[in-house]
Chains A and B, each alone.
Chain A
Amino acid sequence: MSDFKTKVSAVNEVVIIETEGYLNNEGGQIIYDICIEKLASGSRKFLLNLSGTKVVNSIGVSIIIEVIEKLQEVEGKLGYYNMAPIVEKTFHIMGLSKYSSLYKTEELALLEF
Chain B
Amino acid sequence: MNSPTVELKLPILPNMELVATQTAEIIAKHMHLSEDQSGEITMALIETCINAFEHSKAGNNIFIHFIIEESSLVIKVIDQGVGFDKSKVAIPKIENKIGKDERKRGWGLQLIQALMDSVEFESNDSGTTVTMTKNK
Contact = CB atoms under 8 A, between A and B. Distances in A.
Contacts of A69: 98-99, 104
Contacts of B107: 58, 61-62, 93-94
Given A22-B18, A86-B40, A95-B93, A55 B46 contact: yes
Interface residues of B, number: 28
B87 interface: no
Main secondary structure of the interface of B (DSSP, over half): helix
Contact of B94 (A56, A65, A90): A65
A63 to B, nearest CB: 7
B95 A95 contact: yes
Contacts of B99: 69, 72
Interface of B: 15, 17-18, 21, 35-36, 39-40, 42-43, 46-47, 50, 92-95, 97-99, 104-105, 107-108, 110-111, 114-115
Interface of A: 22, 24, 55-59, 61-63, 65-66, 68-69, 72, 84-86, 89-90, 93-96, 98-99
